[in-house]
A = this chain, B = another copy of it.
């Protein structure tokens, strides 16, 4: 007399175990636990109790296989070495986790083909949702997203367009406003120093151009563009170069705070007075900018708020709700300190 053969018994508590204990069918347990409305309140309570006493935890793989959808959210961001994206990712992660979703990160390194291959891999896992950075990408990636049917939210931009969801602010306006601030302060030869040259940086560049052109102060030699990733040391080097320019520049607007911080430190080393000899402005208000000597004038961008709002918007989308504001503009704050 042998026990019935149970190949591959995993010993884990399953739906059926809960169903047995509660005296209902497995499907009712499934529905009760997922909060489907079509279950009698008393049954829900009974099922919940049974699940609790058994310590039942659903198997995500089984759920994903049966439903064709996982509880993963794929997040595609350009880089982790820019603190901006770390802040964004933290907020996103926390928001998504609270709603029961796992975050799968992919780092694109600003490379459209890398983004595409990351997306292909992620799509294999049938993510419940997608977060991508910005609006610009390859056609292949774009149609991959569209065809997948997976809800998608775009970060760091607020350009409304049919059928796309985004949370961010106007990069153009931010670039424009900082430049206006510098003009209003009386600076006349305002350089724009940018690295990476990703789409959002170029939008800020456009804002700067527009402001200078309106003021009749635009000059192409004021543009200092370098495709390398930004860093403090690169900021220092760019500062040294720009200070050699004739006729001299009286203000420099850096596209990211790390560059501006590097410039401030270079100015200290070179004995260049900031803002008397040259004003320096940054972007993003990254950690440390308020500690600089002198404290850095910059644009504070609401990363944490963007991450949280994007997470919430995506959760709504994944749950089939309609989103009242598909394009959320969270703005920015011009943070004037002593450097400009």
Binding site for B on A (CB under 8 A): 10, 57-62, 64-65, 68, 70, 80-81, 83, 86-87, 89-90, 93, 102-105, 107, 121, 124-126, 231-233, 236, 258, 261-262, 265-266, 268-269, 287-288, 290-293
With A65-B62, A86-B80, A292-B265 given, is the CB distance from A57 to B287 under 8 Å? no
Tell me the interface secondary structure of chain A in the complex: helix
A90 pairs with B86, CB closer than 8 A = no
Contacts of A58 in B (CB 8 A): 124
Give Cα distance in the complex from A123 to B167, angstroms. Answer: 32
Contacts of A103 in B (CB 8 A): 104-105
Interface centre among A60, A68, A81, A83 (most CB of B within 10 A): A60
Task: Enumerate 21 A-B pairs (CB-CB under 8 Å) in ascending A order.
Answer: A59-B65, A60-B124, A62-B65, A64-B64, A80-B80, A80-B90, A81-B83, A81-B90, A81-B287, A93-B107, A102-B125, A103-B105, A232-B287, A236-B291, A261-B288, A262-B291, A265-B292, A265-B293, A266-B291, A268-B293, A288-B288
With A102-B125, A103-B105, A124-B59 given, is the CB distance from A231 to B265 under 8 Å? no
Give Cα distance in the complex from A125 to B232, angstroms. Answer: 40
Give Cα distance in the complex from A290 to B266, angstroms. Answer: 11
B107 pairs with A90, CB closer than 8 A = yes
- Please, which residue of chain B has its CB at the minimum distance from the CB of A266? B291
